[in-house]
Each structure stands twice: as C-alpha cells, then as structure tokens.
C-alpha cells in the first residue's frame, strides 16, 4: 500500500480512536495541525530513509513525506473536521521514489474520508482557521531533545504565524504526550510483537556467541533475524564486550570477543514503528565466573524488585529512588561501596551513582524514549523499560539488564517475560 510500509497494516480503528482522544482534549473552536518529518540529507545527493513523524503516525498511520493532518472538531462543515493532505503521485516522482498513496488507499489506512492533495492545503486551511479561535501547532518537546537542525514544524510555525498573526497559538505537544503515554490494547499488541522478535533474535545470538567472534558478528545476527521478520532495529544497537560496556552509549560494535569477557547487548526490534528495548549481559565463553555471577545476580534482584514496583500512582522519581536505595545495599554486599562511602555521601550525588549513574527506565512506544510527563504518577497503560546496571571500569566489565513492562491495575506485565534472563537460563542456552 504505502511505499515505506514493510509491516502488516494496523487497524484503522486504532488511528480513528487516537484522533478522537486528542479531539476530546482540545478546547472549543480549535484547529490542530500535524506535519510529517523532513527527508534528511546525508552527503552529495544522498538522503536518509525517512523516519515517520511519530505524532502523525499515531493519528493516521501515514508514513509518507510532506503529509499534513488538520483536525477541527467543531467545524461547521462536517467535511472540515478531519482532513489529511498528501503529496500526489505522478509519473516522475513515482519513477524515482516509488508508490505514493492514492486517496482510496489513504482512506482505508487512516479511517478518514477527507483526503486532499497538498497543493490544496493553504486554501483549505484558510477556510478552517478563520472559523477557529485557537490554533494548536506541534513541535518536538521531549526534554532530552537536542536537535540543531531546523525542522519542518519550525518552518511551518513561522509561515502560519506570518499569514495569521492575530490568532491564539498553543502547544499541541503536551496534549499528544498525554494521549500517547497511555497505550491502547492495539498498541500493546504491536509492542508485544516487537518484544517477541527481540527475544527470537536474542536466542539466536546465545547459540552463536563465543570467543573469536566480534561485536559486529553479533550485531549481524540480530539484523538477520529482525530483517527477515520485516522489522528493524528500534535504535542503534549496543553490542559491547568487556570495558566497552562501561560506555553507556557505546555503538562502535567492532571489537573481538575474548574468553572471560562479559558481552552487554542493548538491542531492540522496531515493528510497525513501535519499539521494544532489551538489555542482556552474557558471558562470551558461556559460563559466568563467580565474580561475574555475583554482580549479575545483584543487578537481577534490583530489576525484579523494580519491576514489581511499577504500579499506577507511583511517581517515577520515587521509583528511581527506591531502586537506588536497593542498589546501594547490593553494592555494599559486593564490596564496591564501603559503609563510610554511604555515610559521608553528598545527597546531591549519592555514592551509588559511581556504579549506577543513569535512569532506571523510561516510557517506550512509537519512540524508544517515548513522550509522556514523567513528573506525574504512572497510569495503567504506560509501557516502561526497567534497566538497572552496575559499571566497573577498573574490572573492565559492566552488567545491565532491561525488560519492557506494561503497567496495569492488576500488577506489572513483563512483555519480555519469555526472553531468557536468569544466569542459569543464559548458560544453558549458550551450551
């Protein structure tokens, strides 16, 4: 159907309901506008394969460049309440770039009836915007975003405000974050599918890994399993042997695997644009040493307890503090921390941070570090990663373990519960 769609189509009811959820949050007489992402250049005449705009995909399922969604729930003309604008295919662009969505295909994909070509956008927007009081415009408001490249949204904001300077403009991102952080049953099913593919690839890697292979060889095993199942890496994979695992975002993935090392694997598949996120740490030779096993089991205990603490009403910062307190006790037992280190610690920089310096987890969905207000309590329907770790540069090793977990009223549901995790399971699979 769509030239970039390599996955099974998602039910249009998903996108219809997502638009309805957003519409319920809009104040009366509001227009909301969501753009596709740009196709980004590389060098010479090259370009990067476009990553669909997560907000546009959430609301429409569309993955095509130059697409624009306009929502105006209170429009007097019912045909103006939901309109999708698409780049029209022609002989030239389809020869060079491939198939463009036809109007009937877009209707089937999105559950929308009003599909227009992009050349009609500004004329139709005028009819809608002059009837509206508020204009909600989108932008990337993830707290950790550090994009230095001007986006399509930024260019659009400048142009629409130039054309209509007297309207009241408001931020769409907080409303979309509120919608997207709570996953529907259909979304959870897709994330579960991505988790299943990640587990399948990991089991392949357990049988493959041994001294003499390289980090690159292991990455290729994951790639083979993902691609043959019409999935992709949800993010750049981390395949880190020995001391490389002490670099939190190591991505070179080139070193040889040596006898006696641990291999940290932070890898997840993405299916239908939804992400999974898994970390496992395995012994290159198939057998944990006594020291490695003691550290592994310590991290696993924190992972298990932190998973059980995931519940509606829990503040993420309190969840983090509980994990740090437990990890402090584990580090004391391991001899990595001394009682005096804890007694004299700076509250702003607790002793545990020397060995466990990152966050315990994050929302995951259409983005690996998904949107959502993590200053608010968790709700049923949040999907969170849980990823404690211990990093010991002096011993040239690190252990991090991570699962993707659904928060429910009846307790956490580990979407990676079938993926080997216990040390004995890992060793048995590697044999």
Whether 7 sits among the annotated catalytic residues: the reply is no
Active-site hit among 63, 65, 215, 402 = 402
Active-site hit among 82, 215, 266, 370 = 266
Active-site hit among 221, 369, 370, 403 = 369
Whether 403 sits among the annotated catalytic residues: the reply is no
Active-site hit among 277, 330, 367, 370 = 277
Active-site hit among 55, 330, 362, 403 = 362
Q: Under a CB-based contact definition with an 8 Å cutoff, are residues 117 and 23 in contact? A: no
- Residue 49: closest CA among 6, 95, 84: 6
- Residue 189: closest CA among 360, 5, 381, 29: 381
Q: Under a CB-based contact definition with an 8 Å cutoff, are residues 390 and 398 in contact? A: yes
CB contact set of 122 (below 8 Å; sequence gap of 6+): 163
Q: What CA dihedral angle connects 20, 24, 25 and 28, to 10 degrees?
A: 120
Active-site hit among 358, 395, 396, 427 = 358
Where on the phi/psi map is residue 108: left (φ > 0), alpha (ψ -120 to 50), or beta? Answer: alpha
Whether 153 sits among the annotated catalytic residues: the reply is no
Active-site hit among 235, 271, 274, 391 = 391
Active-site hit among 45, 104, 148, 409 = 45
Whether 45 sits among the annotated catalytic residues: the reply is yes
Provide the CA 273 distance to its chain's centre, in angstroms: 9
- Report d(CA 31, CA 134) in Å as an integer: 6
Whether 55 sits among the annotated catalytic residues: the reply is no
Indicate the SS3 state at residue 148: coil
Whether 297 sits among the annotated catalytic residues: the reply is no
Whether 391 sits among the annotated catalytic residues: the reply is yes
Active-site hit among 249, 318, 373, 425 = 249
- Residue 396: closest CA among 209, 261, 218, 238: 261
Q: Which positions are catalytic?
A: 45, 249, 266, 277, 358, 362, 369, 387, 391, 400, 402
């Amino acid at each position: 159907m769509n030239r970039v769609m390599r996955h099974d189509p998602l039910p249009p009811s998903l996108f219809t309901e997502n638009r309805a959820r957003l519409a319920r949050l809009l104040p009366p007489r509001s227009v909301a506008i969501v753009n596709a992402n740009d196709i980004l250049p590389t060098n010479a005449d090259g370009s990067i394969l476009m990553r669909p705009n997560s907000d546009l995909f959430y609301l429409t399922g569309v993955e095509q460049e130059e697409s624009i969604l306009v929502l105006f729930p209170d429009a007097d003309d019912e045909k103006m309440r939901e309109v999708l604008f698409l780049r029209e295919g022609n002989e030239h662009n389809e020869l060079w770039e491939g198939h463009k969505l036809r109007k009937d295909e877009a209707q089937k994909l999105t559950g929308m009836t009003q599909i227009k070509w992009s050349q009609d956008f500004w004329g139709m927007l005028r009819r809608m915007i002059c009837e509206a009081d508020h204009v909600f415009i989108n932008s990337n408001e993830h707290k950790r975003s550090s994009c230095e490249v001007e986006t399509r949204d930024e260019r659009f904001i400048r142009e629409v405000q130039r054309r209509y300077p007297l309207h009241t403009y408001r931020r769409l991102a907080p409303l979309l974050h509120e919608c997207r952080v709570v996953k529907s049953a259909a979304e959870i099913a897709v994330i579960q599918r991505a988790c299943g593919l990640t587990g399948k690839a990991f089991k392949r890697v357990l049988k493959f890994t041994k001294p003499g292979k390289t980090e690159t060889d292991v990455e290729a095993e994951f790639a083979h399993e993902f691609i043959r199942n019409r999935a992709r890496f949800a993010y750049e994979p981390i395949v880190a042997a020995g001391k490389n695992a002490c670099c939190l975002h190591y991505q070179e993935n080139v070193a040889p695997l040596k006898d006696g090392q641990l291999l940290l694997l932070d890898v997840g598949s993405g299916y239908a644009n939804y992400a999974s996120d898994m970390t496992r740490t395995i012994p290159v030779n198939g057998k944990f040493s006594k020291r490695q096993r003691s550290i592994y089991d310590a991290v696993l205990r924190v992972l298990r307890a932190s998973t059980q603490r995931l519940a509606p009403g829990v503040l993420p910062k309190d969840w983090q503090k509980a994990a740090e307190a437990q990890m402090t006790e584990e580090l004391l037992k391991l001899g990595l921390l001394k009682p005096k280190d804890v007694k004299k610690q700076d509250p702003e920089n607790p002793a545990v941070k020397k060995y466990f310096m990152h966050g315990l987890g994050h929302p995951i969905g259409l983005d690996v570090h998904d949107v959502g207000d993590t200053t608010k309590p968790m709700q049923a329907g949040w999907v969170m990663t849980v990823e404690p770790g211990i990093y010991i540069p002096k011993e040239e090793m690190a252990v991090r373990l991570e699962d993707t977990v659904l928060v429910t009223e009846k307790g956490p549901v580990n979407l990676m519960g079938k993926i080997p995790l216990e040390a004995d399971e890992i060793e048995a699979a590697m044999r």
